[in-house]
Structure 1
Amino acid sequence: MAVSTLANTSLETAYKRRDPAAMLKAAMHEWGGESDLWIFGYASLIWRPEFESAEDRFATLHGYHRALKMWSRVNRGTPELPGLVFGLLPGGSCKGVAYRLPQERVAASLPALWEREMPNAVYDPKWLRCRTAQGDVRALAFTLSKRSPNHTGVLSEDHYRQIFSSACGRYGTTRDYAQLTYDKLRTLGIDDQALGKLLQRVS
Structure 2
Amino acid sequence: MSVERWVFGYGSLMWRPGFEFLERQAATLHGRRRAFCIYSVHHRGTYQRPGLVLGLAPGGSVRGAAYRVSEDRWPEVYAYLREREQPTETYVEASAFIRLADGRRIETLVFLSDVHHPQWAGALSLERQAELIAGATGLSGPNVAYLRDLILHLRQEGVRDHAMEKLLTMVEALELVAK
Q: Could you state the TM-score of these two structures normalised by the residue count of structure 1?
A: 0.79
From 117, 121, 128, the counterpart of 1:148: 117
Write the distance in 1 (CA, Å) between the matches of 2:56 and 2:125.
Answer: 20
- Residue identity opposite 1:99 in structure 2: Y
Larger mean CA deviation between 146-155 and 73-82 belongs to 146-155
5 Å matches for 1:45-194? 45-132=13-100, 133-194=102-163
| Partner in structure 2 of residue 7 of structure 1 | none
CA separation of 1:96/1:156 partners in 2, compared to 1, >3 Å: closer, same or farther? closer
Deviation of 1:159 after TM superposition, in Å, equals: 3.4
Q: Going by fraction, where is strand more abundant, 1 or 2?
A: 2
Unaligned runs of 5+ in 2: 173-179
Larger gyration radius, structure 1 or structure 2 = 1
In structure 2, relative to structure 1, the CA distance for the partners of 1:154 and 1:134 (3 Å cut) is: closer
State how far apart, in whole Å, the 2-side matches of 1:174 and 1:181 are.
Answer: 11
**TM-score, structure 2 length as denominator?**
0.89
**How far apart are the structure 2 equivalents of 1:122 and 1:157?**
21
Shift of 1:47: 1.2
Alpha carbons 1:66, 1:94 under 8 Å: kept? yes
- Percent identity, aligned pairs only? 38
SS in 2 for 1:155: coil
- Give, in whole Å, the separation in 1 of the partners of 2:87 and 2:8: 19
Return the alpha-carbon distance in structure 2 between the equivalents of residues 139 and 156 of structure 1.
31
Conserved? CA contact 1:157–1:202, under 8 Å: no
User: Quick check: 1:195 aligned with 2:164?
Assistant: yes
Q: Distance in 2 between matches of 1:154 and 1:40?
A: 23
CA contact 1:124–1:145 (8 Å) conserved in 2: yes
Q: Which runs of 5+ in 1 are unaligned?
A: 1-33
More helix by share: 1
